[in-house]
């Protein structure tokens, strides 16, 4: 079954390099980046898992827990991790799910047979503290992901939740936000600072420092 934005992330229990994990319990009140890769002892994956480890402090600053998955065994993961650490000059400090029976990969639709074989592709799920799926990405096996972009998306989601707003192309922390089309300009002036109406449908603004939004908002 396809998973859509706004769906509750399916729960599961699996063996990982950090022991048995019940996914929802492990996630707790954190944001989660669940990402799959095709196989252990492969070059692109070795660079990706290392990059996620190098970004450890950045995930923590944002209240994000990363967790990886491939359809290999815990024993294989444990044998591979020293190579990841050595090559990337880092320490993998997040769990890697072992999914040899493909139960989790199938639950999250991470196996795309058109991609060559029946291992998982490079899926990403950003899941919020309410366990809602907030972003999905699927990359082919041949292309390593850009985890700085995933951090940027987490920033944008967290800012959109706080300000009940949207963010424009390439938005980064500190930049102007977009007033959602659902909010009339007068209401926007009461809610945001420095509202600028470029077109009636394109208004930019700044979120007030003390804004504490109600969570995910739609823009339609």
User: Which residue lies nearer to ligand BEZ by CB, 3 or 39?
Assistant: 39
* Interface map 133-172 toward ligand BEZ (x if CB under 6 A): --------xx------------------------------
Q: What are phi and psi of 217, to 5 degrees?
A: -125, 145
Catalytic (active site) residue 45: yes
What distance in Å separates the CA atoms of residue 34 and residue 68, rounded to the nearest whole number? 6
Nearest residue to 123 via CA among 64, 38, 65: 38
Nearest residue to 78 via CA among 89, 174, 70, 127: 70
**Count of residues near ligand BEZ by CB under 6 A:** 8
* Interface map 22-41 toward ligand BEZ (x if CB under 6 A): ----------------xx--
What distance in Å separates the CA atoms of residue 104 and residue 168, rounded to the nearest whole number? 34
Nearest residue to 161 via CA among 31, 14, 17: 31
Binding of ligand BEZ by 83 (CB under 6 A): no
User: Which residue lies nearer to ligand BEZ by CB, 24 or 51?
Assistant: 51
Binding of ligand BEZ by 118 (CB under 6 A): no
Residues of this chain that interact with ligand BEZ (CB under 6 A) are 38-39, 42-45, 141-142
């Amino acid at each position: 079954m396809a998973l859509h934005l706004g769906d509750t992330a399916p729960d599961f229990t699996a063996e990982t390099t950090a022991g048995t994990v019940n996914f929802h319990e492990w996630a707790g009140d954190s944001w989660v980046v669940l990402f799959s890769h095709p196989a252990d002892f492969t070059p692109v994956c070795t660079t990706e898992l290392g990059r996620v480890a190098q970004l450890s402090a950045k995930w923590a600053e944002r209240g994000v827990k990363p967790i990886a998955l491939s359809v290999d065994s815990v024993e294989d993961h444990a044998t591979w991790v020293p190579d990841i650490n050595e090559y990337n000059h880092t320490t993998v400090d997040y769990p890697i799910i072992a999914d040899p029976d493909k139960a989790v990969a199938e639950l999250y639709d991470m196996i795309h047979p058109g991609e060559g074989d029946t291992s998982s592709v490079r899926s990403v799920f950003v899941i919020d503290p309410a366990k809602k799926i907030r972003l999905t990405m699927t990359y082919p096996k041949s292309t390593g992901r850009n985890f700085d972009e995933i951090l940027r998306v987490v920033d944008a989601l967290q800012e959109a939740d706080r300000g009940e707003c949207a963010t424009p192309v390439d938005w980064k922390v500190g930049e102007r936000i977009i007033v959602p089309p659902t909010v009339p300009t007068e209401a926007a002036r009461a809610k945001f600072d420095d509202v600028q109406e470029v077109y009636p449908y394109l208004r930019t603004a700044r979120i007030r420092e003390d804004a504490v939004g109600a969570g995910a908002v739609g823009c339609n």
